[in-house]
Amino acid sequence: MAENTSAQPRKHAITIEDRKSVRISGISEVSSYDASSVVLESDWGRLVIQGAELHISSFDQTSGNLFLEGGIEALQYFERRSKTESFFSRLLK
């Protein structure tokens, strides 16, 4: 999926309600998901949500809004790697 190419990154916010649901804005792509893990892409990096019985209730790719339900256990961000950085250059660091 294409990334946001504008000068300003898309606004990003997370609201967790009672560790049972999450509303997230600023999502560009759902990379993968199953009942225990959801991997999301945003202009601010990759976001991994871990939990139990997770399911995506809604995702509007145009607005970037996502609603997720289930038992939320952890949220973790990862920096995006440069697309020009090769596998071997990362290996030799």
Q: What is the pLDDT of residues 11-25, one digit of tens each?
A: 999 999 999 999 999
Distance, in Å, from the CA atom of 41 to the CA atom of 50, rounded to the nearest integer, reads: 15
Q: Which of 87, 71, 75 is nearest to 24 (CA)?
A: 75
Token pair 């990334």 is found at 3
The partner residues of 8 in beta bridges, in order of sequence, read none
Q: List the chain domain ranges.
A: 13-91
Q: Is the pLDDT of residue 4 over 60?
A: no
- The CATH class, in words, for 13-91 is mainly beta
Phi, psi of 56 (to 5 degrees): -85, 115
Instruction: Over range 61-79, report the average pLDDT.
Output: 95
Instruction: Over range 32-52, report the average pLDDT.
Output: 95
User: Which two three-digit tokens encode residue 40?
Assistant: 């999301």
pTM score, whole prediction = 0.76
What pLDDT, on a 0 to 100 scale, did the predictor assign at position 3? 53
Q: Rg for the chain (alpha carbons), in Å?
A: 14
Q: Is the pLDDT of residue 71 over 60?
A: yes
Distance, in Å, from the CA atom of 51 to the CA atom of 68, rounded to the nearest integer, reads: 11
Token pair 């038992």 is found at 71
Distance, in Å, from the CA atom of 64 to the CA atom of 38, rounded to the nearest integer, reads: 15
